[in-house]
Structure 1
Protein backbone atom coordinates (compact mmCIF):
# COMPACT_ATOMS: atom_id res chain seq x y z
CA UNK A 1 0.00 0.00 0.00
CA UNK A 2 1.62 3.21 -1.21
CA UNK A 3 0.93 6.12 1.16
CA UNK A 4 2.00 9.58 0.08
CA UNK A 5 2.90 11.91 2.92
CA UNK A 6 1.87 15.57 2.90
CA UNK A 7 3.60 17.70 5.50
CA UNK A 8 2.41 21.22 4.63
CA UNK A 9 -1.04 22.67 5.26
CA UNK A 10 -0.38 24.90 2.23
CA UNK A 11 -0.13 21.94 -0.12
CA UNK A 12 -2.36 22.36 -3.21
CA UNK A 13 -4.25 19.15 -2.50
CA UNK A 14 -4.94 20.28 1.06
CA UNK A 15 -6.28 23.55 -0.30
CA UNK A 16 -8.56 21.58 -2.64
CA UNK A 17 -9.90 19.37 0.17
CA UNK A 18 -10.48 22.42 2.35
CA UNK A 19 -12.64 23.95 -0.40
CA UNK A 20 -14.83 20.83 -0.39
CA UNK A 21 -16.21 22.06 2.92
CA UNK A 22 -18.15 24.69 0.93
CA UNK A 23 -20.89 24.28 -1.64
CA UNK A 24 -18.92 26.41 -4.10
CA UNK A 25 -15.93 24.11 -3.77
CA UNK A 26 -18.04 20.96 -4.16
CA UNK A 27 -19.62 22.38 -7.32
CA UNK A 28 -16.22 23.42 -8.66
CA UNK A 29 -14.55 20.03 -8.23
CA UNK A 30 -17.59 17.75 -8.44
CA UNK A 31 -16.54 16.09 -5.19
CA UNK A 32 -17.46 15.89 -1.53
CA UNK A 33 -15.36 15.00 1.48
CA UNK A 34 -16.62 12.24 3.76
CA UNK A 35 -15.14 11.44 7.17
CA UNK A 36 -15.09 8.29 9.26
CA UNK A 37 -14.86 4.54 8.82
CA UNK A 38 -18.63 3.96 8.56
CA UNK A 39 -19.17 6.42 5.71
CA UNK A 40 -16.13 5.09 3.88
CA UNK A 41 -17.53 1.56 4.12
CA UNK A 42 -20.94 2.78 2.88
CA UNK A 43 -19.51 4.66 -0.10
CA UNK A 44 -17.49 1.57 -1.09
CA UNK A 45 -20.63 -0.59 -0.94
CA UNK A 46 -22.53 1.97 -3.04
CA UNK A 47 -19.68 1.89 -5.60
CA UNK A 48 -19.22 5.64 -5.71
CA UNK A 49 -15.89 6.70 -7.16
CA UNK A 50 -13.28 7.46 -4.50
CA UNK A 51 -10.73 9.98 -5.76
CA UNK A 52 -8.42 10.00 -2.74
CA UNK A 53 -8.19 8.72 0.83
CA UNK A 54 -6.82 10.89 3.63
CA UNK A 55 -5.48 9.52 6.90
CA UNK A 56 -4.04 11.22 9.97
CA UNK A 57 -0.41 10.34 10.68
CA UNK A 58 -1.01 8.01 13.59
CA UNK A 59 -4.09 6.31 12.14
CA UNK A 60 -3.27 2.70 11.23
CA UNK A 61 -6.36 0.65 12.12
CA UNK A 62 -8.52 2.31 9.48
CA UNK A 63 -6.05 1.36 6.74
CA UNK A 64 -7.48 -2.16 6.82
CA UNK A 65 -10.56 -0.70 5.14
CA UNK A 66 -8.48 0.16 2.10
CA UNK A 67 -7.34 -3.36 1.31
CA UNK A 68 -8.53 -4.23 -2.15
CA UNK A 69 -9.05 -0.62 -3.24
CA UNK A 70 -6.16 -0.60 -5.62
CA UNK A 71 -5.42 2.46 -7.71
CA UNK A 72 -6.81 4.94 -5.17
CA UNK A 73 -4.19 7.41 -3.93
CA UNK A 74 -3.76 7.52 -0.15
CA UNK A 75 -2.37 10.58 1.59
CA UNK A 76 -1.04 10.83 5.13
CA UNK A 77 -1.53 14.21 6.83
CA UNK A 78 -0.46 15.66 10.13
CA UNK A 79 -3.26 15.38 12.69
CA UNK A 80 -3.55 19.17 12.93
CA UNK A 81 -3.92 19.49 9.15
CA UNK A 82 -6.40 16.62 8.97
CA UNK A 83 -8.55 18.19 11.71
CA UNK A 84 -8.81 21.40 9.70
CA UNK A 85 -10.46 19.54 6.83
CA UNK A 86 -13.29 17.87 8.77
CA UNK A 87 -15.88 19.43 11.05
CA UNK A 88 -16.37 16.67 13.61
CA UNK A 89 -15.17 17.37 17.15
CA UNK A 90 -13.40 14.01 17.48
CA UNK A 91 -12.19 12.99 14.00
CA UNK A 92 -11.63 9.27 13.44
CA UNK A 93 -8.53 9.98 11.39
CA UNK A 94 -9.74 8.81 8.00
CA UNK A 95 -11.56 10.67 5.23
CA UNK A 96 -12.03 10.45 1.49
CA UNK A 97 -12.68 12.66 -1.49
CA UNK A 98 -15.60 11.14 -3.37
CA UNK A 99 -16.89 12.08 -6.83
CA UNK A 100 -20.48 13.37 -6.87
CA UNK A 101 -22.39 11.22 -9.39
CA UNK A 102 -24.28 12.87 -12.22
CA UNK A 103 -28.07 12.81 -12.00
CA UNK A 104 -29.71 10.01 -13.97
CA UNK A 105 -32.87 10.54 -16.06
CA UNK A 106 -36.02 9.75 -14.12
CA UNK A 107 -37.96 6.67 -15.12
CA UNK A 108 -41.34 6.21 -13.48
CA UNK A 109 -41.86 2.63 -12.16
CA UNK A 110 -45.29 1.06 -11.78
CA UNK A 111 -45.13 1.27 -8.00
CA UNK A 112 -43.31 4.25 -6.59
CA UNK A 113 -43.04 6.55 -3.63
CA UNK A 114 -41.50 9.94 -4.32
CA UNK A 115 -40.50 12.79 -2.00
CA UNK A 116 -40.68 16.43 -3.06
CA UNK A 117 -38.78 18.75 -0.71
CA UNK A 118 -39.62 22.45 -0.85
CA UNK A 119 -36.72 24.50 0.54
CA UNK A 120 -35.69 22.24 3.43
CA UNK A 121 -32.93 24.32 4.96
CA UNK A 122 -31.61 22.46 8.01
CA UNK A 123 -28.89 19.92 7.10
CA UNK A 124 -29.82 17.65 10.00
CA UNK A 125 -33.43 17.56 8.84
CA UNK A 126 -32.49 16.68 5.27
CA UNK A 127 -30.12 13.95 6.41
CA UNK A 128 -32.78 12.44 8.68
CA UNK A 129 -35.34 12.57 5.87
CA UNK A 130 -32.98 10.74 3.50
CA UNK A 131 -32.39 8.00 6.05
CA UNK A 132 -36.09 7.61 6.87
CA UNK A 133 -37.03 7.66 3.19
CA UNK A 134 -34.64 4.81 2.42
CA UNK A 135 -36.00 2.80 5.35
CA UNK A 136 -39.53 3.31 4.03
CA UNK A 137 -38.60 2.23 0.51
CA UNK A 138 -38.43 5.65 -1.16
CA UNK A 139 -35.67 5.98 -3.71
CA UNK A 140 -36.44 9.12 -5.71
CA UNK A 141 -36.21 12.49 -4.00
CA UNK A 142 -36.62 15.85 -5.70
CA UNK A 143 -34.87 18.80 -4.08
CA UNK A 144 -36.68 22.06 -4.79
CA UNK A 145 -35.16 25.53 -4.89
CA UNK A 146 -33.77 26.68 -1.57
CA UNK A 147 -33.10 23.16 -0.27
CA UNK A 148 -29.76 22.74 1.49
CA UNK A 149 -26.96 21.11 -0.49
CA UNK A 150 -27.35 17.33 0.05
CA UNK A 151 -23.55 16.99 0.08
CA UNK A 152 -23.19 19.36 3.02
CA UNK A 153 -21.09 17.49 5.65
CA UNK A 154 -23.90 17.66 8.22
CA UNK A 155 -26.38 16.16 5.76
CA UNK A 156 -23.92 13.38 4.90
CA UNK A 157 -23.41 12.48 8.56
CA UNK A 158 -27.12 12.60 9.45
CA UNK A 159 -28.04 10.39 6.48
CA UNK A 160 -25.54 7.76 7.71
CA UNK A 161 -24.99 6.21 4.30
CA UNK A 162 -28.50 6.58 2.86
CA UNK A 163 -27.30 9.52 0.76
CA UNK A 164 -25.17 7.15 -1.32
CA UNK A 165 -28.18 5.00 -2.22
CA UNK A 166 -30.75 7.75 -2.85
CA UNK A 167 -31.61 9.09 -6.30
CA UNK A 168 -31.51 12.85 -5.80
CA UNK A 169 -32.55 15.46 -8.34
CA UNK A 170 -32.45 19.24 -8.01
CA UNK A 171 -35.27 20.90 -9.89
CA UNK A 172 -37.98 23.55 -9.87
CA UNK A 173 -40.94 21.78 -8.26
CA UNK A 174 -43.36 23.96 -10.24
CA UNK A 175 -42.33 21.95 -13.28
CA UNK A 176 -41.77 18.61 -11.55
CA UNK A 177 -45.23 18.28 -9.98
CA UNK A 178 -47.26 18.62 -13.21
CA UNK A 179 -44.92 16.14 -14.90
CA UNK A 180 -45.32 13.61 -12.11
CA UNK A 181 -49.09 13.99 -12.29
CA UNK A 182 -48.95 13.29 -16.02
CA UNK A 183 -47.08 10.10 -15.13
CA UNK A 184 -49.95 9.06 -12.87
CA UNK A 185 -48.68 10.21 -9.48
CA UNK A 186 -51.05 11.34 -6.75
CA UNK A 187 -49.43 14.38 -5.11
CA UNK A 188 -50.03 14.96 -1.40
CA UNK A 189 -48.99 18.06 0.52
CA UNK A 190 -48.99 18.41 4.29
CA UNK A 191 -50.00 21.27 6.54
CA UNK A 192 -51.35 21.76 10.08
CA UNK A 193 -54.50 23.53 8.81
CA UNK A 194 -55.55 20.84 6.35
CA UNK A 195 -59.05 19.48 6.96
CA UNK A 196 -58.29 15.76 6.55
CA UNK A 197 -56.07 13.56 8.70
CA UNK A 198 -53.31 11.72 6.85
CA UNK A 199 -54.57 8.29 7.96
CA UNK A 200 -58.11 8.85 6.64
CA UNK A 201 -56.97 8.44 3.04
CA UNK A 202 -56.01 5.38 1.04
CA UNK A 203 -53.03 6.26 -1.11
CA UNK A 204 -52.40 4.79 -4.57
CA UNK A 205 -49.18 2.92 -5.40
CA UNK A 206 -47.75 6.00 -7.13
CA UNK A 207 -47.80 8.69 -4.45
CA UNK A 208 -45.60 11.78 -4.20
CA UNK A 209 -45.29 13.49 -0.81
CA UNK A 210 -44.62 17.23 -0.81
CA UNK A 211 -42.94 18.57 2.34
CA UNK A 212 -42.40 22.26 3.04
CA UNK A 213 -39.84 24.56 4.57
CA UNK A 214 -39.29 24.39 8.34
CA UNK A 215 -40.64 27.91 8.91
CA UNK A 216 -43.29 28.66 6.31
CA UNK A 217 -44.34 25.19 5.18
CA UNK A 218 -45.24 24.43 1.56
CA UNK A 219 -45.32 27.40 -0.79
CA UNK A 220 -48.93 28.30 -1.73
CA UNK A 221 -48.21 27.99 -5.47
CA UNK A 222 -46.92 24.44 -4.95
CA UNK A 223 -49.73 23.56 -2.59
CA UNK A 224 -52.24 24.46 -5.33
CA UNK A 225 -50.59 21.94 -7.63
CA UNK A 226 -51.08 19.04 -5.19
CA UNK A 227 -54.09 16.71 -5.43
CA UNK A 228 -54.87 16.82 -1.74
CA UNK A 229 -53.66 18.43 1.48
CA UNK A 230 -53.59 16.45 4.72
CA UNK A 231 -52.55 17.05 8.30
CA UNK A 232 -51.01 14.91 11.01
CA UNK A 233 -53.30 15.28 14.05
CA UNK A 234 -51.68 16.87 17.09
CA UNK A 235 -53.87 16.61 20.22
CA UNK A 236 -51.25 18.47 22.24
CA UNK A 237 -50.75 22.27 22.20
CA UNK A 238 -48.07 22.23 19.47
CA UNK A 239 -48.23 24.31 16.30
CA UNK A 240 -46.21 22.02 14.05
CA UNK A 241 -43.91 19.01 13.91
CA UNK A 242 -40.31 18.90 12.79
CA UNK A 243 -40.29 18.24 9.05
CA UNK A 244 -38.22 15.08 9.40
CA UNK A 245 -40.73 13.74 11.94
CA UNK A 246 -43.58 14.61 9.56
CA UNK A 247 -41.80 12.69 6.80
CA UNK A 248 -41.41 9.64 9.04
CA UNK A 249 -45.03 9.58 10.20
CA UNK A 250 -46.45 9.98 6.71
CA UNK A 251 -44.08 7.59 4.95
CA UNK A 252 -44.80 4.87 7.47
CA UNK A 253 -48.52 5.36 6.95
CA UNK A 254 -47.81 4.46 3.32
CA UNK A 255 -45.83 1.43 4.50
CA UNK A 256 -48.67 0.40 6.85
CA UNK A 257 -51.24 0.63 4.07
CA UNK A 258 -49.10 -1.36 1.64
CA UNK A 259 -48.18 -4.07 4.15
CA UNK A 260 -51.78 -4.32 5.29
CA UNK A 261 -52.72 -5.57 1.81
CA UNK A 262 -50.19 -8.43 1.87
Structure 2
Protein backbone atom coordinates (compact mmCIF):
# COMPACT_ATOMS: atom_id res chain seq x y z
CA UNK A 1 0.00 0.00 0.00
CA UNK A 2 1.43 3.39 -0.92
CA UNK A 3 1.89 6.21 1.58
CA UNK A 4 -0.78 8.30 -0.15
CA UNK A 5 -3.30 5.47 -0.01
CA UNK A 6 -2.53 4.91 3.69
CA UNK A 7 -3.78 8.34 4.66
CA UNK A 8 -7.51 8.58 5.28
CA UNK A 9 -9.30 11.67 4.00
CA UNK A 10 -12.00 13.02 6.31
CA UNK A 11 -14.14 16.00 5.44
CA UNK A 12 -17.18 15.51 7.66
CA UNK A 13 -17.34 16.74 11.25
CA UNK A 14 -19.58 13.72 11.92
CA UNK A 15 -16.65 11.32 11.48
CA UNK A 16 -16.19 8.96 14.46
CA UNK A 17 -12.56 9.94 15.09
CA UNK A 18 -13.39 13.64 14.96
CA UNK A 19 -16.15 13.01 17.49
CA UNK A 20 -13.67 11.08 19.67
CA UNK A 21 -11.30 14.04 19.81
CA UNK A 22 -14.13 16.26 21.00
CA UNK A 23 -15.23 13.67 23.55
CA UNK A 24 -11.71 13.52 25.01
CA UNK A 25 -12.23 17.04 26.34
CA UNK A 26 -14.16 15.28 29.11
CA UNK A 27 -12.20 13.69 31.97
CA UNK A 28 -14.69 10.85 32.31
CA UNK A 29 -14.24 9.88 28.67
CA UNK A 30 -10.44 10.08 28.98
CA UNK A 31 -10.58 7.76 31.98
CA UNK A 32 -12.89 5.28 30.29
CA UNK A 33 -11.05 5.22 26.96
CA UNK A 34 -7.50 5.51 28.32
CA UNK A 35 -6.79 8.15 25.67
CA UNK A 36 -5.94 11.84 25.60
CA UNK A 37 -5.20 14.56 23.05
CA UNK A 38 -2.01 16.53 22.42
CA UNK A 39 -1.89 19.38 19.93
CA UNK A 40 0.75 20.65 17.54
CA UNK A 41 3.50 19.30 15.31
CA UNK A 42 6.20 20.45 17.72
CA UNK A 43 4.55 18.47 20.51
CA UNK A 44 4.29 15.39 18.30
CA UNK A 45 7.98 15.63 17.42
CA UNK A 46 8.88 16.07 21.09
CA UNK A 47 6.90 12.92 21.90
CA UNK A 48 8.72 11.08 19.13
CA UNK A 49 12.06 12.02 20.71
CA UNK A 50 10.86 10.15 23.81
CA UNK A 51 9.82 7.15 21.70
CA UNK A 52 6.13 7.96 22.03
CA UNK A 53 3.81 7.91 19.02
CA UNK A 54 0.08 8.63 18.79
CA UNK A 55 -2.49 5.95 18.18
CA UNK A 56 -4.10 8.29 15.66
CA UNK A 57 -2.65 11.35 13.95
CA UNK A 58 -4.94 14.02 12.51
CA UNK A 59 -3.60 16.87 10.41
CA UNK A 60 -5.11 19.74 8.49
CA UNK A 61 -5.28 19.37 4.74
CA UNK A 62 -3.79 22.86 4.56
CA UNK A 63 -0.56 21.58 6.16
CA UNK A 64 -0.10 18.40 4.14
CA UNK A 65 2.86 19.85 2.23
CA UNK A 66 4.70 21.04 5.35
CA UNK A 67 8.19 19.42 5.08
CA UNK A 68 8.54 18.34 8.72
CA UNK A 69 4.96 17.08 8.82
CA UNK A 70 5.49 15.03 5.66
CA UNK A 71 8.59 13.42 7.16
CA UNK A 72 6.83 12.70 10.46
CA UNK A 73 3.77 11.39 8.65
CA UNK A 74 5.96 8.95 6.73
CA UNK A 75 7.43 7.60 9.96
CA UNK A 76 3.97 7.21 11.49
CA UNK A 77 2.65 5.37 8.45
CA UNK A 78 5.57 2.94 8.56
CA UNK A 79 4.55 2.14 12.14
CA UNK A 80 1.00 1.40 11.08
CA UNK A 81 -0.42 4.45 12.86
CA UNK A 82 -3.80 5.66 11.65
CA UNK A 83 -3.23 8.98 9.87
CA UNK A 84 -6.12 11.24 8.91
CA UNK A 85 -6.08 14.28 6.66
CA UNK A 86 -8.94 16.46 7.88
CA UNK A 87 -10.77 18.96 5.73
CA UNK A 88 -11.64 22.46 6.93
CA UNK A 89 -15.06 21.51 8.36
CA UNK A 90 -13.69 18.55 10.28
CA UNK A 91 -10.67 20.48 11.56
CA UNK A 92 -12.78 23.41 12.72
CA UNK A 93 -14.81 20.98 14.82
CA UNK A 94 -11.80 19.94 16.87
CA UNK A 95 -9.57 23.04 16.73
CA UNK A 96 -9.37 25.18 19.88
CA UNK A 97 -10.23 28.72 18.92
CA UNK A 98 -7.88 30.18 21.55
CA UNK A 99 -4.90 28.24 20.16
CA UNK A 100 -5.75 26.48 16.88
CA UNK A 101 -3.37 23.74 15.79
CA UNK A 102 -3.11 21.95 12.49
CA UNK A 103 -1.82 18.70 13.99
CA UNK A 104 -3.57 16.65 16.68
CA UNK A 105 -2.47 13.35 18.16
CA UNK A 106 -4.53 10.88 20.17
CA UNK A 107 -2.24 9.21 22.72
CA UNK A 108 -2.53 6.37 25.21
CA UNK A 109 -2.56 7.46 28.86
CA UNK A 110 0.40 6.05 30.76
CA UNK A 111 0.46 5.97 34.57
CA UNK A 112 3.43 4.55 36.46
CA UNK A 113 3.75 2.76 39.78
CA UNK A 114 5.71 4.31 42.64
CA UNK A 115 8.34 1.62 42.12
CA UNK A 116 8.99 3.03 38.65
CA UNK A 117 9.92 6.40 40.15
CA UNK A 118 12.65 5.32 42.60
CA UNK A 119 14.79 8.46 43.09
CA UNK A 120 18.36 8.12 41.89
CA UNK A 121 21.54 9.87 43.10
CA UNK A 122 21.71 13.52 42.10
CA UNK A 123 18.05 13.51 41.21
CA UNK A 124 14.77 14.35 42.89
CA UNK A 125 11.12 13.47 42.90
CA UNK A 126 8.13 15.81 43.13
CA UNK A 127 4.94 15.12 45.06
CA UNK A 128 1.94 17.37 44.49
CA UNK A 129 -0.97 17.45 46.90
CA UNK A 130 -4.37 18.52 45.60
CA UNK A 131 -3.12 20.75 42.77
CA UNK A 132 -6.27 21.97 41.06
CA UNK A 133 -5.12 24.19 38.21
CA UNK A 134 -4.11 22.24 35.05
CA UNK A 135 -1.94 25.13 33.89
CA UNK A 136 0.06 24.91 37.10
CA UNK A 137 0.37 21.14 36.79
CA UNK A 138 1.53 21.34 33.18
CA UNK A 139 4.10 24.01 34.04
CA UNK A 140 5.42 21.87 36.90
CA UNK A 141 5.76 18.92 34.50
CA UNK A 142 7.84 21.13 32.22
CA UNK A 143 10.07 22.22 35.11
CA UNK A 144 10.42 18.63 36.34
CA UNK A 145 11.61 17.67 32.89
CA UNK A 146 14.07 20.57 32.81
CA UNK A 147 15.78 19.58 36.08
CA UNK A 148 15.78 15.87 35.25
CA UNK A 149 13.40 14.86 38.05
CA UNK A 150 12.55 11.17 38.31
CA UNK A 151 8.84 11.92 38.13
CA UNK A 152 5.78 13.39 39.78
CA UNK A 153 3.46 11.74 42.30
CA UNK A 154 -0.08 13.14 42.49
CA UNK A 155 -1.59 12.92 45.96
CA UNK A 156 -5.28 13.29 46.84
CA UNK A 157 -7.61 14.88 44.28
CA UNK A 158 -5.28 16.62 41.84
CA UNK A 159 -6.47 17.85 38.47
CA UNK A 160 -6.00 15.60 35.45
CA UNK A 161 -2.49 15.83 33.94
CA UNK A 162 -3.94 14.49 30.68
CA UNK A 163 -6.40 17.35 30.21
CA UNK A 164 -5.76 19.47 27.14
CA UNK A 165 -4.85 22.46 29.35
CA UNK A 166 -2.23 20.53 31.35
CA UNK A 167 -0.79 18.84 28.27
CA UNK A 168 -0.54 22.18 26.49
CA UNK A 169 1.19 23.85 29.47
CA UNK A 170 3.70 21.01 29.69
CA UNK A 171 5.00 21.90 26.20
CA UNK A 172 5.64 18.24 25.44
CA UNK A 173 7.21 17.36 28.79
CA UNK A 174 4.27 15.10 29.61
CA UNK A 175 6.00 12.56 27.36
CA UNK A 176 9.25 12.75 29.34
CA UNK A 177 8.02 12.87 32.94
CA UNK A 178 6.78 9.77 34.75
CA UNK A 179 3.45 10.27 36.54
CA UNK A 180 2.08 8.24 39.43
CA UNK A 181 -0.86 8.48 41.85
CA UNK A 182 -0.83 7.52 45.52
CA UNK A 183 -2.37 8.12 48.91
CA UNK A 184 -0.08 10.16 51.10
CA UNK A 185 0.43 7.36 53.63
CA UNK A 186 1.53 4.98 50.88
CA UNK A 187 3.80 7.58 49.31
CA UNK A 188 5.39 8.48 52.65
CA UNK A 189 6.04 4.83 53.53
CA UNK A 190 7.54 4.22 50.10
CA UNK A 191 9.87 7.24 50.14
CA UNK A 192 11.13 6.26 53.63
CA UNK A 193 12.09 2.85 52.26
CA UNK A 194 13.99 4.67 49.53
CA UNK A 195 15.87 6.68 52.15
CA UNK A 196 14.63 9.87 50.51
CA UNK A 197 14.48 13.20 52.33
CA UNK A 198 11.00 14.75 52.25
CA UNK A 199 11.01 18.54 51.94
CA UNK A 200 7.77 20.49 52.15
CA UNK A 201 7.12 24.17 51.53
CA UNK A 202 5.03 26.06 54.05
CA UNK A 203 4.16 29.62 54.96
CA UNK A 204 4.48 28.49 58.59
CA UNK A 205 8.07 27.34 58.10
CA UNK A 206 10.95 29.47 59.33
CA UNK A 207 13.82 27.85 57.44
CA UNK A 208 15.07 29.57 54.27
CA UNK A 209 14.98 27.08 51.36
CA UNK A 210 18.53 28.15 50.40
CA UNK A 211 20.01 27.19 53.75
CA UNK A 212 18.80 23.59 53.93
CA UNK A 213 21.25 20.71 53.73
CA UNK A 214 19.42 18.64 51.14
CA UNK A 215 20.19 14.94 51.59
CA UNK A 216 20.28 13.14 48.28
CA UNK A 217 17.81 11.81 47.12
CA UNK A 218 15.14 14.43 47.78
CA UNK A 219 11.34 14.37 47.43
CA UNK A 220 9.83 17.85 47.18
CA UNK A 221 6.26 18.05 48.47
CA UNK A 222 4.07 20.95 47.30
CA UNK A 223 0.56 21.68 48.50
CA UNK A 224 -2.71 23.02 47.15
CA UNK A 225 -2.71 26.48 45.55
CA UNK A 226 -4.94 28.04 48.20
CA UNK A 227 -4.65 25.88 51.32
CA UNK A 228 -1.07 24.64 51.12
CA UNK A 229 -0.14 21.37 52.80
CA UNK A 230 -2.31 19.80 55.52
CA UNK A 231 -0.68 19.91 58.96
CA UNK A 232 -0.23 16.13 59.12
CA UNK A 233 1.61 16.17 55.79
CA UNK A 234 3.90 18.92 57.02
CA UNK A 235 4.62 16.93 60.17
CA UNK A 236 5.84 14.02 58.06
CA UNK A 237 8.46 16.19 56.33
CA UNK A 238 12.13 16.01 57.24
CA UNK A 239 12.41 19.71 56.49
CA UNK A 240 9.87 22.49 56.04
CA UNK A 241 11.05 25.49 54.08
CA UNK A 242 9.81 28.86 52.91
CA UNK A 243 10.82 31.27 50.18
CA UNK A 244 11.61 34.73 51.65
CA UNK A 245 9.42 37.60 50.47
CA UNK A 246 10.67 41.18 50.33
CA UNK A 247 7.52 42.80 49.06
CA UNK A 248 3.92 42.78 50.28
CA UNK A 249 3.06 39.43 48.67
CA UNK A 250 3.05 36.58 51.18
CA UNK A 251 3.15 33.71 48.68
CA UNK A 252 4.01 32.69 45.12
CA UNK A 253 2.17 30.76 42.45
CA UNK A 254 2.72 27.06 43.17
CA UNK A 255 4.38 26.41 39.80
CA UNK A 256 6.79 29.30 40.35
CA UNK A 257 7.55 28.22 43.92
CA UNK A 258 8.16 24.64 42.78
CA UNK A 259 10.62 25.80 40.14
CA UNK A 260 12.55 27.97 42.61
CA UNK A 261 13.00 25.20 45.16
CA UNK A 262 13.68 22.53 42.53
CA UNK A 263 16.52 24.52 41.04
CA UNK A 264 18.05 25.04 44.47
CA UNK A 265 17.87 21.28 45.14
CA UNK A 266 19.32 20.69 41.69
CA UNK A 267 22.14 23.19 42.25
CA UNK A 268 23.20 21.59 45.53
CA UNK A 269 23.05 18.07 44.14
CA UNK A 270 25.45 18.71 41.25
Indicate the TM-score class for this superposition, using the shorter chain for normalisation.
over 0.9
Distance in 2, matches of 1:13 and 1:107, equals 34
Match of 2:70? 63
* Cα displacement (A) at 1:239: 1.6
TM-score (norm 2): 0.90
Q: Secondary structure at the match of 1:33?
A: strand
**Alpha-carbon shift at residue 119 of structure 1 (Å):** 0.8
* 1:94 aligns to 2:103 (yes or no): yes
Separation in 1 of the partners of 2:204 and 2:231? Answer: 13
Instruction: Specify the alignment match of 1:34 in structure 2.
Output: 38
Query: How far apart are 1:109 and its partner, in Å?
Result: 4.5
> Which ranges of structure 1 fall in alignment gaps of 5 or more residues?
none
> Residues 18 and 38 (structure 1 numbering): CA distance in 2 closer, same or farther, change over 3 Å?
same
Q: Mean Cα displacement is larger for which, 97-106 or 47-56?
A: 97-106
Give the secondary-structure state (helix, strand or coil) at the position aligned to 1:58: helix
169-178 or 73-82: bigger deviation: 73-82
* Contact kept in structure 2, 1:119 and 1:148, CA below 8 Å: yes
Unaligned runs of 5+ in 2: none
Residue 118 of structure 2 contacts residue 150 of structure 2 at CA under 8 Å; is this kept in 1? no
Is residue 156 of structure 1 aligned with residue 174 of structure 2? Answer: no
The within-5 A match list for 1:115-194 is: 115-194=126-205
Are positions 1:80 and 2:84 aligned together? no
Alignment partners' CA distance in 2, 1:255 and 1:176: 22
SS of residue matched to 2:105: strand
* Deviations 1:201-229, CA, capped at 9 Å, x for gaps: 11011111110111101122211221221
Q: In proportion to residue count, which structure has more helix?
A: 2
Aligned to 1:17: 21
Structure 1 partner of 2:116? 106
Bigger mean CA deviation after superposition, 190-199 or 13-22? 13-22
Q: Is the 8 A contact 1:195 1:231 kept in 2?
A: yes
1:224 equivalent to 2:235? Answer: yes
CA RMSD of aligned residues (A): 1.7
Q: TM-score, normalised by structure 1?
A: 0.92
Q: 1:53 to 1:167 in 2, by over 3 A?
A: same
Q: How does 1:213-252 map to 2 (within 5 A)?
A: 213-252=224-263
On the 8 A contact 1:118/1:219 being kept in 2, the answer is: no
Tell me the distance in 2 between the aligned counterparts of 1:81 and 1:36.
16
Structure 1 residues 146 and 109 mapped into 2: Cα distance closer, same or farther (>3 Å)? closer
Q: Counterpart in 2 of 1:8?
A: 12
Q: Secondary structure at the match of 1:150?
A: coil
Aligned to 1:52: 56
Moved more, 56-65 or 203-212: 56-65
1:236 to partner: Cα distance: 1.0
> Contact 1:20–1:31 (CA<8 Å) still a contact in 2?
yes
State whether residues 116 and 173 of structure 1, in contact with CA within 8 Å, keep that contact through their aligned partners in structure 2.
no
Separation in 1, partners of 2:133, 2:31: 19
